Amino acid sequence: MYSTLIIASNEGLLNIVINRPDKLNALNTTVLEELKEVVQKFKNDPALKGAIITGAGEKSFVAGADIGGFLQAERSQGEELARKGQEIFSMIEETEKPILAAVNGYALGGGCELAMSCHFRYASENARFGQPEINLGIIPGYGGTQRLPKLIGRGRALEMMLRGDAIDAAEAYRIGLVNKVLAAEKLMEEAEATMRLIISKPAPAIAALIKATNAGFEDKGYGFEQEAKSFAKAFSTDEMVEGVTAFLEKRKPNFK
Ligand code: COA
């Protein structure tokens, strides 16, 4: 039914697997559209009580937005690109049923942003988190500049986004980016056990709890608007073209 997702449900629990392992599950337009559709269905299906999002394969959760698509997009389309990702990730965050990210490897760029839009995160020992956009001459555009500081504090978030390198699962745990670190083979088992416990609680109370907690963090206006506009600005530069081309050509970028 979906070309980039594997979907399965069992006794009220929905499993969403992002399935482009040859591209480390990078988020292209199809993944974003399919994710939007599946989350919408999840929201509206009373038989479904909770969801887990993970990535196919053993190496990657999601290694970011699809960099190959950046050069195909018009350089004036940056804001639109950011808005599209922001919309689906905000939809995930605002879903009044619990959604857990089971991070089974790389969670970079849009992958880290996707994990942060879930209600909480478990990680496998080989997981790595980062916002490497700066190395491509751009910035996080799917809510990362807004959610990361709220999760780990402004100083740590700025350091991580400015350095552009990745942190390991133990460090992600230490700074509160993930709730638990597990051996890879235990990740889904533990994620499912926790979700089973949570979805056994009364659904109206779960919905009320998520809504109230989100309300304290609500700034879907100014901050997100600035992120999309700043992303658009970076997306229109020659540095973006050089950064993205260098990645695709598997070489170091030559920034002026
Ligand atoms: N977008 C598009 N393709 C991606 C991708 C992304 N974000 N991340 C990885 N891929 C592709 C690679 O181009 C490669 O494709 P190919 O086999 O057709 O050449 C494939 O996935 C495997 O990746 P590769 O780089 O060969 O694996 P690796 O183990 O050497 O390195 C990473 C893994 C995650 C360190 C590296 O792929 C990487 O840095 N990815 C980009 C991360 C990023 O900048 N994300 C933010 C984007 S805004």
pLDDT tens-digit readout, 55-109:
999 999 999 999 999 988 888 899 999 999 999 999 999 999 999 999 999 999 9
For 59, 87, 194, the CA distances from 135, given in Å and listed in that order, are 21, 24, 36
- CATH number of the domain bearing residue 37: 3.90.226.10
Whether 216 has a pLDDT exceeding 90, the answer reads: no
Q: Is 159 a catalytic residue?
A: no
Determine the atom of ligand 1 nearest the C-alpha atom of 23: 21
**235-255 pLDDT, tens per residue?**
988 999 999 999 999 999 999
**199-215 pLDDT, tens per residue?**
999 998 999 889 988 88
How many C-beta atoms lie closer than 10 Å to residue 57's C-beta?
Answer: 17
pTM: 0.94
The answer to whether position 44 is within a domain reads: yes
pLDDT at position 222: 80
**119-128 pLDDT, tens per residue?**
999 999 999 9
Whether 224 has a pLDDT exceeding 90, the answer reads: no
Q: Is the CB of 52 under 6 A from ligand 1?
A: no
The answer to whether position 51 is within a domain reads: yes
Determine the atom of ligand 1 nearest the C-alpha atom of 66: 1
The residue whose two tokens read 């056990």 is 193
The answer to whether position 233 is within a domain reads: no
Q: Determine the distance separating the centroid of ligand 1 and the alpha carbon of 24, expressed in angstroms.
A: 6
The answer to whether position 193 is within a domain reads: no
**168-191 pLDDT, tens per residue?**
999 999 999 999 999 999 999 999
Q: Is the CB of 118 under 6 A from ligand 1?
A: no
The answer to whether position 50 is within a domain reads: yes
Whether 218 has a pLDDT exceeding 90, the answer reads: no
The answer to whether position 242 is within a domain reads: no
Structure tokens at 4: 């980039």
Residue of 24, 135, 239 best suited for mutating to test ligand 1, as the one with most atoms within 8 Å of CB? 24
The answer to whether position 251 is within a domain reads: no
pLDDT at position 73: 87
Domain that includes residue 151, residue range: 5-186
Q: Answer whether 93's CB lies under 8 Å from 217's CB.
A: no
Q: Which helix (H) or strand (E) holds 226?
A: helix 222-235
Rounded distance, CA 30 to CA 240, Å? 23
Count of domains observed in the chain: 1
Q: Determine the distance separating the centroid of ligand 1 and the alpha carbon of 37, expressed in angstroms.
A: 25
The answer to whether position 118 is within a domain reads: yes
CA pseudo-torsion sign 55, 118, 15, 30: negative
Whether 196 has a pLDDT exceeding 90, the answer reads: yes
